[in-house]
């Protein structure tokens, strides 16, 4: 090989070696870009605010608040609950009965409204509907979020229990937190807040049906594929009364604007106690729901659901289920479960409860009203407010009777005489 050729080959080798050296020293651009994109995507995640009104009750345009904006607000108006000074949900305790502590970082919803919208103050609103990316929906009343009354300032959290939230976390990118309020209002994966000036009050009922005596024609079922350990998955079929069928039959009177109020008398295994549980839900949710009492797993028989009746549905996400339903009420109508009513009111376990206890729960009693009792054979009897106030439901096995004066009726419906 000639001298000149040797230097040419040497130069080529040096160029190749230098190229590899420079490449090895160069930052890993693809991973950096992925990280930047992931962070940017998370910061661009936005919270939708709908139904806002100004101080003169004029409806405002919907607005989107990005997570980056929330973080910026945190720099000047931070809300922090630490491990040393945590916040608690009012109805969650550990095995020893102690409240479960949570650390939180975020901002108050009220500060978001003040800084970035023309909204009226929080006390202008009577309810809020919180919706999540996993289809979870809960309706929150003003006694939960109105801090001027009994409520707590709502926190929009981007860090929860030491975890910086993002779309891959189980809490999602943002989480609603209401210190000292019930846990079902602490919506994770929060995406939308829909405000309403309507103050939600427990419906005043004038038409009451009883779950145990609903006609079987209103029953239905739906099927679900669910995870089962250790097998993997299995097919389940759930049976119960279709809310849509009950609305069509005018057993429940409901229109698209009506919220449903659910009252349950449920067992808390953590504290080994029974307590009242209440929830509100919107038409789009309850109209596709069921009051369930049976379940059938593939290749196995039908079994009674634990803590039935259960308010649930094929589109419900975790946390929306209500067990041991006592009353499902909407507008002026309600369905009551007598079995659950006896769990709540038959404290002496003597098989008797006062009718007035249910009527008072449902805002159905008035001393100036009279009442119509419909029996199972569709005959009716009219009684006075004084008579119904002294009446009792009596249980004999799985059968219930309405008892007033010296009369006993196998009943299925109670109405206020209009």
Structure confidence by residue, pLDDT tens digits, 192-242: 999 999 999 999 999 999 999 999 999 999 999 888 877 788 899 999 999
pLDDT score of 93 more than 90: no
Is the domain of 140 the same as that of 186?
yes
Q: Do 336 and 259 fall into the same domain? A: yes
Tokens of 158: 């981007």
Q: Do 86 and 135 lie in a common domain? A: yes
Is the pLDDT at 353 greater than 60, yes or no?
Answer: yes
220 lies in the same domain as 192: no
Q: Is residue 34 in some structural domain?
A: no
Q: Are the beta carbons of 127 and 141 closer than 8 angstroms? A: yes
Residues 169 and 235 in one domain: no
What is the reported pLDDT for 273? 78
The pLDDT score that the predictor gives to residue 35 is 38
pLDDT attached to residue 105: 98
Upstream peptide bond of 230 is cis (omega within 30 degrees of 0): yes
Contact assessment for residue 48 and residue 192, using Cβ atoms and an 8 Å cutoff: yes
Q: What local confidence, expressed as pLDDT, does residue 271 receive?
A: 64
20 belongs to a structural domain: no
- Boundary of a domain, candidates 168, 196, 224: 196
Same domain? 327 vs 398: yes
pLDDT, tens digit, for every residue of 30-87?
333 333 344 445 899 999 999 999 999 999 999 999 999 999 999 999 999 999 999 9
251 plus 297 within the same structural domain: yes
pLDDT single digits (tens) 100-154: 999 999 999 999 999 999 999 999 999 999 999 999 999 999 999 998 888 899 9
Last residue of a domain, one of 140, 163, 196: 196
3-state DSSP call for residue 72? helix
> Among 17-21, 176-180, 189-193, which stretch is predicted with the lowest mean pLDDT?
17-21
Q: Which helix (H) or strand (E) holds 309?
A: none
In a domain, 120, yes or no: yes
18 vs 154: which has the higher pLDDT: 154
CATH of the domain at 170: 3.90.420.10
Tally of domains in the chain: 2
Same domain, 172 and 222: no
| pLDDT score recorded for residue 269 | 67
Comparing 211-225, 269-283, 347-361, 393-407, the range with the smallest average pLDDT is 269-283
Phi-psi bin for 17: left (phi > 0), alpha (psi -120 to 50), beta?
alpha
Same domain, 112 and 221: no
Predicted local confidence at residue 180, as pLDDT: 94
Q: CB of 144 within 8 A of CB of 151?
A: yes
Which of 196, 231, 257 is the last residue in one of the domains? 196
Both 260 and 221 in a single domain?
yes
User: For the stretch 251-281, what's the b/e string if a residue is b when 16 or more beta carbons lie within 10 angstroms of its beta carbon?
Assistant: bbbbeeebbbbbbbbbbeeeeeeeeebebbb
Gap between the Cα atoms of 197 and 51, Å rounded: 9
Of the candidate ranges 85-94, 99-108, 254-263, the one whose mean pLDDT is the lowest = 85-94
* pLDDT at position 148: 81
pLDDT band at 270 (very low <50, low <70, confident <90, very high): low
* Residues 220 and 80 grouped into a single domain: no
Question: Does 250 reside within a domain?
Answer: yes
Mean pLDDT of 267-291: 87
Across the chain, mean pLDDT equals 89
Classify residue 167: in a domain, yes or no: yes
For 373, the 3-state DSSP assignment is strand
Q: Write down the pLDDT at residue 245.
A: 98
Contact of 154 with 190, CB cutoff 8 Å: no
Per the structure, the complete domain to which residue 110 belongs is given by: 43-196
- Please report, rounded to a whole number, the percentage of residues in the chain having pLDDT higher than 70: 89
In the chain, % of residues over pLDDT 90: 78
Do residues 190 and 278 share a domain? Answer: no
Write down the pTM of the prediction. Answer: 0.83
Report the C-alpha gap between 101 and 24 in whole angstroms. 48
* Mean pLDDT, residues 376-387: 98
220-224, 318-322, 337-341, 389-393: which range is least confident on average? 318-322
Is the residue at 239 inside a domain? yes
Question: Is residue 262 a part of any domain in this protein?
Answer: yes
Average pLDDT, stretch 364-388?
A: 98
State how far the Cα of 294 lies from the Cα of 55, in Å rounded to an integer. 50
Residue 262 has pLDDT above 80, yes or no: yes
The predicted pLDDT at position 112 comes to 98
- pLDDT > 70? residue 386: yes
Structure tokens, 243: 């809310």
Residue 7: inside a domain: no
174-184: average pLDDT: 94
């Amino acid at each position: 090989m000639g001298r000149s050729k040797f230097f040419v080959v040497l130069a080529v080798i040096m160029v190749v070696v230098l190229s590899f050296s420079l490449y090895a020293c160069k930052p890993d651009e693809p991973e950096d870009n992925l990280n930047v994109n992931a962070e940017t995507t998370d910061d661009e995640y936005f919270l939708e605010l709908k139904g806002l009104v100004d101080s003169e009750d004029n409806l405002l345009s919907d607005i989107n608040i990005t997570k980056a904006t929330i973080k910026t607000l945190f720099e000047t108006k931070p809300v922090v609950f630490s491990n040393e000074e945590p916040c608690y949900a009012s109805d969650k305790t550990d095995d020893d009965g102690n409240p479960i502590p949570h650390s939180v970082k975020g901002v108050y919803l009220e500060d978001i409204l003040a800084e970035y919208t023309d909204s009226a103050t929080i006390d202008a609103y009577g309810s809020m509907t919180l919706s999540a990316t996993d289809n979870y929906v809960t309706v929150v009343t003003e006694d939960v979020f109105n801090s001027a009354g009994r409520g707590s300032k709502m926190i929009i959290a981007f860090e929860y229990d030491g975890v910086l939230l993002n779309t891959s976390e189980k809490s999602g990118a943002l989480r609603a937190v209401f210190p000292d309020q019930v846990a079902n209002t602490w919506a994770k994966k929060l995406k939308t807040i829909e405000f309403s000036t309507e103050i939600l009050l427990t419906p005043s009922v004038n038409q009451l049906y009883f779950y145990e005596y609903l006609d079987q024609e209103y029953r239905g079922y739906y099927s679900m594929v669910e995870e089962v350990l250790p097998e993997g998955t299995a097919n389940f079929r759930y049976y119960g009364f279709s809310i849509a069928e009950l609305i069509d039959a005018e057993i429940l009177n409901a229109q698209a604007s009506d919220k449903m109020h659910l009252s349950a008398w449920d067992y808390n295994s953590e504290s080994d106690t029974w307590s009242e549980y209440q929830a509100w839900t919107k038409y789009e949710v309850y109209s596709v729901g069921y009051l369930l009492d049976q379940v059938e797993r593939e290749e196995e028989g039908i079994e009674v659901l634990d803590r039935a009746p259960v308010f649930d549905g094929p589109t419900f996400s975790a946390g929306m289920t209500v067990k041991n339903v006592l009353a499902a009420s909407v507008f002026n109508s309600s369905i009551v479960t007598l079995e659950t009513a006896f769990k709540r009111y038959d404290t002496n376990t003597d098989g008797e409860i006062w009718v007035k206890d249910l009527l008072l729960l449902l805002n159905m009693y008035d001393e100036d009203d009279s009442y119509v009792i419909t029996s199972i054979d569709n005959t009716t009897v009219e009684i006075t407010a004084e008579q119904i106030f002294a009446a009792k439901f009596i249980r004999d096995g799985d059968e219930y009777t309405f008892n007033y004066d010296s009369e006993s009726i196998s009943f299925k419906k109670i109405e206020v005489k209009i």
